[in-house]
Amino acid sequence: MALGSRQSCRWCGRAALGQPRRRRVPERAEPAGCSARPYSAGGAELLEVCWRRRFLRGGAGPVPWRAYLSGRHPGFGPLGAALRANLAAQWWDSALPMREQVFPVDAPLHGPPGALRDAQGLRLLHPETLREACQGSGQNPGGPALEEVMGAAEVLRESLLPGVLAQYVSCLELVNKRLPFGLAQVGVCFHSVPESEHSVPESEQQNKNPTRIGERTTSLLAWFSSPRTAGQWLDYWLRQRLQWWRKFAVGPCNFSSSDFQDEEGRRGFKLHYSFPWGTETIETLKNLGDTELLELYPGERSKLLGRDGRKNVIPHVLSMNGNLDRGVLAYLFDSLQLVENPLTARKNSQRKVLKLHPCLAPLKVALDVGKGPTTELRQVCQGLFNELTENGISVWPGYLETLQVSLEQLYTKYDEMSIPFMVLISDGTLENGVVQLRSRDTTMKEMMHISRLKDFLTKFVTSAKNM
């Protein structure tokens, strides 16, 4: 059936479990109600705003988007890190309560030493150990000493899947061996990044083909189901995951899906976001079959058996692997809107507003002071700050700023920081307890008694989860 969105953007979903499969969602489809992008093709305006407002880190200036896509970048700033944390929290909310038998798990960043000395992968090796091994090899740099050291080195994980599958047997007992059930994890993974894919200028490259380490924060839901229903479950999770990504979007139609088959004929889907330069994959869903489990537990088939009704079967593994770092970039692009700038009368002068979904916005409200006795106003702000944060509402303490700026400049700053509300405390607040509340999305201002703020914002945050 057609699912709603924040802009009435319809999409053709997958059939429910047990029903015939419908036609897949066409990649880059643009349903009615999806408007053109409000930013330039290269995203230069967004990159500058995100760097200036500390969503993204950089040196003297922002690094290119391709560096953030590759995972080889300086990292996210405070607001970007908070945005990613909120995205991960929403992922957990969707993964755990949706199904009664989804369990969170954890695994170390590194795995055991490689069983095969010629196995590929990023390895943890102390420089001194490597230096001693090379010196001990004498004229033969690839001699036994070096091979032995490399073979004993622990391997940085490139996927969450091996660590999750390693806990399958123990978690199978938790559900009395009943299928289906799932295991979920969010964590950092590492991968090799060719020099050409990150931000180092070509003039500074000392090696024609160097490889560096990139990292990404990923989410994984491994769903174990009987082979009989694995295909239907894959269709079900496709619908759920695409709906989830679109739930927080201003332009839901920029999230799309496409199907694929790997070299072994295993079926899967990729979820994409349409960036200005083209589509990028943000999540991959795949039916892995039972191959990975059998390889991980050789000769232990009996331990893998789960109950499908009255039958005992080795389950198929459905992997839902998301890239939360790219998800952050997708929502930043999705949120950018250009509106008229009231600070200047020049034509074609626009200010930038990041309209992140309230659940994803790093901060929910900014507290600032207007005219009046500074000390008393800051004391009121401090008390309100404590009250709101104690109730789980993230607050920006703008009242601590000593540089005087106009209200319009404050509005511009907080709109670029994607803060849904600004509360202005003034001398009138000291007299009658009334504050000014401004909305990021409507720019409308209303007067409200300070005693109502906590309940108003709490209801706002709660209702935003159902948007």
The mean pLDDT value of the chain amounts to 83
Encode pLDDT of 281-324 as tens digits: 999 999 999 999 999 999 889 999 999 999 999 999 999 999 99
Task: Read off the pLDDT of each residue in 48-57 and give the average, rounded to a whole number.
Answer: 94
pLDDT in tens, 364-373: 999 999 888 8
Distance separating alpha carbons of residues 230 and 237, to the nearest angstrom: 11
Given a cut of 90, whether residue 395 has pLDDT beyond it is: yes
Instruction: Quote the CA–CA distance of 422 and 117 in Å, as a whole number.
Output: 59
Q: What is the pLDDT of residue 308?
A: 94
The share of the chain scoring above pLDDT 70, in percent, equals 78
pLDDT in tens, 352-366: 999 999 999 999 999
- Percentage of the chain exceeding pLDDT 90: 61
Close Cβ partners of 429 (under 8 Å, ≥ 6 residues apart): 372, 377, 380, 435, 450
Q: Which amino acid is at 183?
A: L
The whole-number pLDDT of residue 112 equals 64
CA 200 from chain center: how many Å? 25
Q: How many Cβ atoms sit within 10 Å of the Cβ of residue 18?
A: 9
Burial of 298 (0-12, 13-18, 19+ CB in 10 A): exposed
**pLDDT value at position 10?**
31
Report which of 282, 292, 141, 297 is spatially closest to residue 218, judged by C-alpha positions. 282
How confident is the model at residue 20, as a pLDDT?
37
The secondary structure of 242-267 as a DSSP string is HHHHHHT-SSGGGEEEEEEE-TT--E
Read off the pTM.
0.85
pLDDT value for 248? 97
